Structure 1
Amino acid sequence: MTDTSPARTPHVLAAGDPGPVPAGAVLVADRLVRTDGADPAEIPCPAADLVAGELRRAGAAVVRGPLPVAAPGAPAPPGAVPAPAGAAAAVLTGTAPPAGIGLVPGPPAGGAESADPAGAARAAFAAWRAAAVPVRTVLLAAPRSFCAGVERAVEVVERALAQRGSPVYVRKQIVHNTHVVADLESRGAVFVEELDAVPEGATVVFSAHGVSPAVRSEAAARGLAVVDATCPLVTKVHTEARRYADRGDTVVLIGHAGHEEVEGTLGEAPERTVLVESAADVAALEVPDPERVSYLTQTTLAVDETAEVVDALRARFPALRGPASADICYATTNRQDALRSIAEDADLVLVVGSHNSSNSQRLVELARRGGTPAHLVDDTGDIRAAWLAGAATVGLTAGASAPPGLVEAVITALGGLGRVAVRERETTRETVRFTLPSAVRQP
């Protein structure tokens, strides 16, 4: 591993694909492009996202793109433009174990608002140099990433756009993942918080988390063309809530206040449903008839913590009734079981998922309860060098709403810090598929 000194700094061309690098910015190279005709002509920099994330957290302006370089001592090609004052470049390449890391500094830009880009680049270099190892093992949990309900919901929006054209409105996030939402937005989907933001008569998709009857009534009253992408497993919970309430029970819903799935379920029978989040809530619960109490659960909870709440309910209300099969969805359970199979053998667990993803958050909590440090990352840019220092074995999984490509990107980025040995542990194989709603089933 080498920190290039000023005497051995390669030529840097500010011109090229990334455009001129602004003063005060740091160019993080996606690849090195040889300007001296040497082979290979390009050298990938797989850990670019890691460096860029470190720099952004430090407040540095980051520019991404190729970095033209020549071998030390080779003349710059005709017309080459040197890096402007105040620009710097940070490079990580995975060409050899341990990973090669190069730093190309420039002088700080002037001005009261400017930072020291070379200093920021050097700090990022030092942080990731400490995290690099000759070989790192990645224990890959399986199943991971998209579940059948998420795949169905995303396909519903894609088909609605293809069949009806844009814009197609979606109430709330279709699934809780920033990358999925951004991708669909780029194709013409418009995400809104409530129906009053949807024009009269437009197409609106209900998210995978479900909605209350009041939302359905509002959509009908406004003449909206509804496409319902509610996960069938959430629909099952809604059906149970109506059935329990109709027979005169108090329905105790175990879940997290404010979550869209919980709000939708509470709306099925609001006068007969109460929400509890913990066993402590159960201790303070008062119901009209202790002999007529049923429970339901949010589908994305931690299995072990939910069992504690159910046990507390049963201790207070011995006649407690519940669903014939668990409400916690198969995908949530499977991902928790898969994580358990790797967490105790890992020095660190990374869970790919967005911060508003309940099932992703539960995976992080599960690993931590078992004593393994764990962090939730939306993508590779969220990974911090300090987490990886000393972590020879990394457990890796993803929540049910995270695209599988994000997991592959993490593995690729870690490969910029040294060779990666990937070992997948599969605890079960998922074969569940859900039929699309009739509104978009046509070819």
Structure 2
Amino acid sequence: MEKKTALSANEAWKALLERYPIEETVRKQGVYRITADQIREYREPRLMAKWDSSDALPEALRKRKLNLLPDSRTSYVMGDFLLYEPIPELREHVLRMTHVEMPEYESIDVNNISSEANAIHVLTLSGILDDFLGDGPSAATFNGRMGTGVFDFRVNTVRGAAREIHVENAQCEIDGGFENARSVVIMEAKNVVHSDFHVRQLYYPYRLWRTRVKKPIRLVFSVYSNMIYRLFEYRFADPEDYSSIELVQAKNYSLQDTRISLRELREVRERTAIRTDDDMDATSVPFIQANSMERIISLLENLYGNPMTPGQIAELMDFDPRQSDYYYNAGRYLGLFEKKNADGQVLVGLTGLGEKVFRMNYKPRQLKLVELMLEHRIFAEFFDAGAETGRYPDKKVIGQRMRELHVCNEGQIARRASSVERWLEWIFNLTRL
């Protein structure tokens, strides 16, 4: 057997699936129980059993539609469970977001909220959380790791059958716990943008605190990125049903001036020189294949002063290794990211330009990112058309222009045209046409 430290999570799960009848048992009986010691033979359980978004699931589990939940401190239950809840995309125009003035504190830099703990501090000190809840002032009263106690619940599966799970003193971690006159609040906070989240992060703490307090429990999921807070409140329609999660409300908040006009975007276009090396034969930088500008910005924020290996980026962002390359190359396309050799390993960090962009306030940062896009002919041309007509083209038209500009291979056009479309959408969502 290879040393467990040398195996990736995917390789370790492939080995476990070959050694134990996991897939067959789930197919016949619905669940398979596996111990932490069994997992530890190949890799540490903490690196093998906690994926905060579905993007991070090892391919060995994803292709078999398998996942797992902790049912004690030393064991897990595996099955074809449906464990993730999609996070609604950021569609609200920034001008319609609630703008909040942060009180002046010398020890808090709102331009450098670099951790989930700092994001929670600002969330409470700014009054954002109280505004969102509408229950009066909330006080921070608990957080950290704690045992779940004993409870049973149902969870839906890919096959359509609900499975019964028994939990006995598993471990859960709470980012923020609050209390106000009307409710107890449990918060899960992220400073990385994902497409979905693991419902366990709210459900296990909910079941624990439901037995401890008499007040109603309110569940808040917070995402802070690009100087914008996105808050979501959830509830469980049936407390004993993991899959009964429902979105109650959502609201976005900005800490800085977010007013960007079409005139300002046009001024950026007028002063931006178009590159002459976009042809795939004239550049070593791959054309973009990363749809989410929000996730590129999130990665920019997390790389500031903190270079990472591609594997660390994949773990932080809940990427698979291929996605990690796509998003690195998207940042490289904009001149923001670079790779360097340090002590025998490859690290991804920010270029000088990337560091400059990070340090900018919201408005100049967005305008600079637009400028970096418009240096590329395909974005400049489609911006001109969109600014004139109020519409940008569909993927078929985008793909044809990509073909004419020879920005990538023919087989890559369809997928990468989708990324161009999403970047154009991001640009025009900065303002009202």
Q: Same fold (TM over 0.5)?
A: no
TM-score interval, smaller chain: under 0.3
Larger radius of gyration: 1
What TM-score, normalized by structure 2, do the two folds share?
0.28
What TM-score, normalized by structure 1, do the two folds share?
0.27
